[in-house]
Amino acid sequence: MEAAAVRAWQGSRERFDAGRTAAPRRSELGAGEVCTACNLRHDVSPLCPRVLEEVGATRRRLARGETLFRPGEPFVSIYTIRSGSCKTVMLTGDGREQVTAYYIRGEFVGVEGVGTAVHRCEAVALEDSEVCVLPFARLEEMARAQPQIQRSLYRVFATEAARERSVMLMLGTMRAEQRLAAFLLDLSRRYHERGYSSTEFVLRMTREEIGSYLGLKLETVSRIFSQMHRSGLVHVQSRLVKLRDPLALRGLIQATFQ
Amino acid sequence: MEAAAVRAWQGSRERFDAGRTAAPRRSELGAGEVCTACNLRHDVSPLCPRVLEEVGATRRRLARGETLFRPGEPFVSIYTIRSGSCKTVMLTGDGREQVTAYYIRGEFVGVEGVGTAVHRCEAVALEDSEVCVLPFARLEEMARAQPQIQRSLYRVFATEAARERSVMLMLGTMRAEQRLAAFLLDLSRRYHERGYSSTEFVLRMTREEIGSYLGLKLETVSRIFSQMHRSGLVHVQSRLVKLRDPLALRGLIQATFQ
DNA sequence: CGTAAGTTTGACTTACATCAAGTTTTGTGG
DNA sequence: CCACAAAACTTGATGTAAGTCAAACTTACG
């Protein structure tokens, strides 16, 4: 059943259409300005359309469940999500797997491969999606000539590293309810940054995937959603989440001394 | 009591003595060759003495418990440990703190600041130690001119990111005994890589610090050390650890299906 | 529209935390 | 260098948050 979908999306890789990026031909975009080439707000994504063009970015469509890259595959590109979302999954020594990240439109995927020859995790589309493919060698070359691109690149790495660090902190110190609160607030912030509602969004991950990301079992995730719903913190209707009391959610995270 | 020790170590920052690095003046070190400038094996540390010299590295001594950098401090340098060891600590929203890393001789500290203007954690010496201070702006400049230094830098970032990712995986999927086994095997590997015994080493962290790093309480760490000691996996005598059966330790980590 | 995948909820179990008391180790000042 | 105090560690008894197992219910996709 997935095969058909994959076929339908196939052959959709195309070179960037230069005509589409005609509008902003200046070397700099103002903060908050929309980059038509990749649908990214420039204050969020440090790589402007001029860079994407010059770097020879291509596009790639992914059907839900399709894999963008796998562990062991040579690292040649990083990706920005034009539309849709994806998760990354790592495999532990034994067969188990853990969701290590969740990316939405405008975010960078595949950065974990930098500095090594190969990717370390699997990236899977959570819904039909489209990504920009940025050849890393070219990006690096440009960064060498233009220090501001270098800094932008570092910023992309730093964002990824900061995310991983905060997950580490969450897994090491928080209880289940706090983890879920932190997860929702993180999503809220990221949706907001990208111009979507910060209080109402659709989860693309299953309870099991959320649990895997948070170091919890799916039943625990479900129970805590129900419990938050009952206490009026959030409204949860299957995958649709409405944050009713973001302040109280934030309070949950901070109000545990010891 | 600590103040006196700090005073004793003060005023010990000095510019690199060029005379000390006289030996290898070639542009490349062979794998495994010792870098006299920083006591690092070149196959372990990607930055050779020539680079350290050129980058204007200085040295700094730290007394046990002394802080190398604090959260919020401007990020200007990264550090390599010449001797001793240190931990990094992050503060959660509320007052609690978590140990986020543990570095030994030859490893890079402070990399988490890359891409941001400031450091995100506190680095504290676990024993009297000495570090190389590498001004990052200079390093970046050199990397721009020399692609191979760029790659080395990326490799340093990647090593740090990989470590964080594996901690994330550990915290998300492993039980207490497995975490401790993974911790010991990680230390074992790193000591081995740097030319020390892989089966016998002295822990510089307390049980509480180990617990903080592993997301466990100090009592749990203690109990599991005792239990591993009883079953003959390791010999634990206070801070001195001898790995008696590394294979069985590895087995602990992998032999949990589901 | 039917089926498979995903979700919720309950009953029970367990791994780790907490609390507490006693012991060992470490570091410091006499 | 020894003695003493503080810090670190060990071990036991008990509590609890989250996991496990199971069954019924809901959602969504082909």
* pLDDT tens, per residue, chain A with 258 residues: 344 433 333 333 333 433 333 333 333 444 444 444 444 444 445 566 677 777 889 999 999 999 999 999 999 999 999 999 999 999 877 777 899 999 999 899 999 998 888 999 999 999 999 999 999 999 988 888 888 888 888 888 888 999 999 999 999 999 999 999 999 999 999 999 888 999 999 999 999 999 999 999 999 999 999 999 999 999 999 999 999 999 999 999 985 433
Q: Name the residue type at position A166.
A: S
Residues of chain B in contact with residue A173, where contact means CB-CB under 8 angstroms, are 92, 96, 98, 215
Would you say A89 and A97 are in contact if contact means Cβ atoms under 8 Å apart? yes
pLDDT in tens, B178-230: 999 999 999 999 999 888 999 999 999 999 999 999 999 999 999 999 999 99
DSSP string, B154-182: HHHHHHHHHHHHHHHHHHHH--HHHHHHH
| B115·A158 Cβ contact <8 A | yes
End-to-end CA distance of chain A: 50
Identify any residues that bridge with B129 across adjacent strands, giving them in sequence order: B62
Of A144, A157, A165, the CB nearest to B164: A165
The sign of the dihedral angle between the CA atoms of A250, A251, A252, A255 is: positive
Q: Mean pLDDT over all residues of chain B?
A: 82
pTM for the full predicted model: 0.84
| A257·B164 Cβ contact <8 A | no
- Pairing status of strand B108-109 against strand B77-83: antiparallel
Who's near A216: CB < 8 A, 6+ residues apart?
Answer: A176, A179, A180, A210
Identify any residues that bridge with A98 across adjacent strands, giving them in sequence order: A90
Question: Measured between CA atoms, how close is B95 to chain A, in angstroms?
Answer: 7
Rounded to 10 deg, the angle between the B147-173 and B136-145 helix axes is 120
End-to-end CA distance of chain B: 51
Helices assigned H by DSSP within B97-146: 136-145
Q: Which residues 82-141 of chain A have a CB under 7 Å from nucleic chain C?
A: none
Who's near B43: CB < 8 A, 6+ residues apart?
Answer: B31, B32
Closest CA to B125 of B45, B208, B47, B69: B69
